[in-house]
Structure formats: C-alpha cells, structure tokens
C-alpha cells in the first residue's frame, strides 16, 4: 500500500470524507498477536538452551567420572581416603570429589566419585561407584 486513499461520499445535506487505512484498534490487535507469538518463540529458545546444557552435562560428567576413577585405580595407595578438585580450564565449572568407604563385607571397599557442574542449578551431580578388594 503506497499511501492512504481518500474517498468523498455525498449524503443528502452533508458531505463526508472516508479515509482507508488501519484503525488504532486494528494496530493494537496486531501488536498483541505479535507479542504473544514472540513470547512463545523466546520461551522455546530458552528451553532449547537449557536442554543443550543438560545434554552436555549428561555426556561429559560420566566420561570425567570414569577418567577420575581410572586415576584413583592407578594410584592404588592405602592411605588415600578422599580428595577433591576441578578439571582445569578444559572443563570450567566442573569439579570432582572422591571418597573411599568401607562396606559391610570384610575386605571390600566402596570408591565413590562425584562430578559436579557448578553452573547448573539442579541435577548438577553425577556419581560413579566402584566396589573393589580393599587395599588395606
């Protein structure tokens, strides 16, 4: 539409001008429909980002826990009972901790490795457990 068109309508005894275009009500209605659509799109985008972060954690945490468990197994020290740290610059926000606990079964101990992502609000811990013959 290049512009507004004006049309003159003649009524008996008076002259009336009608302009074609959008009324304020039509513009407000269109803007509210657009706003509702944009809110849905932004909410979908936010949920997508959240799901991506969750997926990244669900992939990285088990691999990091397995790597840390392998390090603990390689050390095989009898005086090592617990420790904690982080994964450095390669995995910012990720930290680990482990604890070696006794069990009810004589000669068997439980090694528990936990990997946490400090950037996530909930569901941010993955725990890996291993039962092995006690080294003590």
93: left (phi over 0), alpha (psi -120 to 50) or beta: left
Mean of pLDDT over the chain: 86
Q: What is the pLDDT of residues 101-115, one digit of tens each?
A: 889 999 899 999 999
Cα–Cα distance, 10 to 23 (Å, whole number): 23
pLDDT digits (tens, 9 = 90+) for 46-60: 889 889 989 999 999
Give percent of the chain above pLDDT 70.
84
Specify whether the backbone of 49 is left (phi greater than 0), alpha (psi in -120 to 50) or beta. alpha
Is the pLDDT confidence value at 73 over 70?
Answer: yes
Which pTM was predicted? 0.66
**What integer pLDDT is reported at residue 123 of this predicted model?**
85
Instruction: Please identify which residue in the block is written with the tokens 């901790």.
Output: 97
Quick check: 5 and 20 in contact, CB under 8 A? yes
Q: Does the pLDDT value for residue 3 go beyond 60?
A: no
Burial class of 98 by CB neighbour count within 10 A (0 to 12, 13 to 18, 19+): buried
> Do residues 130 and 66 touch, judged by C-beta distance below 8 A?
no
Question: From CA 16, how far away is CA 8, in angstroms rounded?
Answer: 6
Tokens read off for 39: 């809110």
| pLDDT, greater one: 123 or 1 | 123
Q: Say if residue 96's pLDDT is above 60.
A: yes
């Amino acid at each position: 539409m290049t512009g507004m068109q004006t049309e003159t309508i003649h009524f008996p005894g008076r002259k009336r001008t009608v302009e074609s275009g959008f009324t304020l009500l039509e513009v407000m209605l269109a803007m509210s429909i657009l706003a509702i659509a944009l809110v849905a799109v932004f909410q979908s985008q936010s949920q997508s980002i959240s799901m991506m972060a969750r997926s990244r954690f669900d992939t990285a945490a088990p691999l990091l826990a397995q790597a840390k468990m392998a390090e603990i197994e390689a050390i095989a020290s009898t005086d090592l009972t617990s420790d904690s740290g982080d994964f450095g610059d390669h995995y910012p926000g990720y930290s680990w901790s482990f604890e070696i606990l006794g069990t009810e079964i004589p000669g068997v101990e439980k090694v528990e490795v936990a990997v946490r992502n400090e950037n996530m609000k909930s569901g941010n811990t993955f725990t890996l457990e291993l039962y092995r013959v006690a080294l003590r």
